[in-house]
Structure 1
Amino acid sequence: MNTNAYITFLLIGIVLVAVDGQIIYHSGRRYLENSYGAPEAGASMARLVAVMFHLAVLGILALLSLISFGGDESSIPSVVGKLGLLLLVLAAAHGITLAVLSRIRDEQVGENLVARKQGVTGDGRNSTVNPVSPGTADPTRPSVSPSLEHGAPYSAPGEGR
């Protein structure tokens, strides 16, 4: 492969990888933001996955540039053949990356469900509400509506009301 064909192949390959990597990053960030509660955590995971994608596919691109397709390596069919192989590899890497993002999101959604079942909120506090004693006017605690039967403050069963 002559220098012009080699550089053309590498430039086209780098542009394809960069564009696909940016699509993965931006879409993955939106996909993961909802599952993590904090948008910056989802963006961070998407960035890590996108960097892994870029490094892996650029490494494959470098290896593909060394493969000989036989015949005249500087010919258009040779460059197109290498680009076709690169596109197939890029599609496979894109699919694997989507599977990784999906698995990360599924694990985070599962962890969130378990935490909600155990009564822990996103900030680590217990989400159980403590009852309000009659006559207590603490604004940090929720108030309870009066009992329908007695027109009085809420009474627990067995308190004699």
Structure 2
Amino acid sequence: MADGFVTFLVIGVVLAVADGLLIKRSGRAYLEEVYGGDGGAEPVSRMVSVLFHLVVLGLLAIVSTMDFGVSGAEGFVLKLGVMLLLVAITHGITMYWLGKIRRRHRLEHALDEETAAATRGRGRRRRVPPADSVVDVTTVDPEHPLSPRIHPPTRPVING
């Protein structure tokens, strides 16, 4: 049973390290699109990868000590199956968080660009709308104290 325990741990560690390296490498490439060349993708990718490794290795330690009531090769395969499912779930959660980080950074970047564009446009003259698009203010109540003092446009009266 000791050989099966050690074999399970070795296989689990190899799976965790391999998947963690894959997440780090692909996560960096995934985030470089939004972080650009400023090197921001590498630290974020590294932190996510370290978190993934810690979670998966912790789950490996827990699963390795569990007794599922089955011994021998069946028990080994059962533990390996549980471990693979946990790695898959953890991988999916990690990819979800990478996507969330990416979306948040894209939104912040878009807002920064929009603010910069609005700031650049302040020095320009504003476009005056054509006369036919002016809003008719005949519905304004002239008796109301907060009503603007705008006179309605004059129109010819046709008597018929």
Q: Same fold (TM over 0.5)?
A: yes
Q: Does 2:107 correspond to 1:115?
A: no
Q: Which residue of 2 aligns with 1:23?
A: 22
Letter in 2 for 1:128: R
Structure 2, unaligned runs of 5 or more: 124-160
Q: Which residue of 2 aligns with 1:76?
A: 73
In 1, Cα distance between the equivalents of 2:3 and 2:54?
24
Give the Å deviation of 1:38: 3.3
Residues 80 and 39 (structure 1 numbering): CA distance in 2 closer, same or farther, change over 3 Å?
farther
Deviations 1:32-63 (A, max 9, x none): 01111335211110110010000001000000
Residues 3 and 39 (structure 1 numbering): CA distance in 2 closer, same or farther, change over 3 Å?
farther
Q: Does 2:120 correspond to 1:128?
A: yes
Q: Which residue of 2 aligns with 1:67?
A: 66
In 1, Cα distance between the equivalents of 2:15 and 2:39?
27
Structure 1, unaligned runs of 5 or more: 121-125, 132-161
In 1, Cα distance between the equivalents of 2:65 and 2:86?
15
| Correspondence list, 1:83-98, <5 A | 83-98=80-95
Letter in 1 for 2:22: I
Deviations 1:85-111 (A, max 9, x none): 000001100000000000000000000
Q: Which residue of 2 aligns with 1:103?
A: 100
Letter in 1 for 2:120: T
SS at structure 2 position matched to 1:119 = helix
Higher alpha-carbon Rg: 2
Q: Which residue of 1 aligns with 2:136?
A: none
Give the Å deviation of 1:127: 7.8
In 2, Cα distance between the equivalents of 1:21 and 1:88?
15
Give the Å deviation of 1:70: 1.0
User: Across the two proteins, how many residue pairs are aligned to each other?
Assistant: 124
In 1, Cα distance between the equivalents of 2:104 and 2:53?
24
Give me the CA root mean square deviation: 2.2
In 1, Cα distance between the equivalents of 2:102 and 2:15?
26
Residues 102 and 71 (structure 1 numbering): CA distance in 2 closer, same or farther, change over 3 Å?
closer
Matched-pair identity in %: 39
In 2, Cα distance between the equivalents of 1:42 and 1:83?
33
TM-score (norm: length of structure 2): 0.72
TM-score (norm: length of structure 1): 0.71
SS at structure 1 position matched to 2:116 = coil
Higher helix residue share: 2
Letter in 2 for 1:21: G
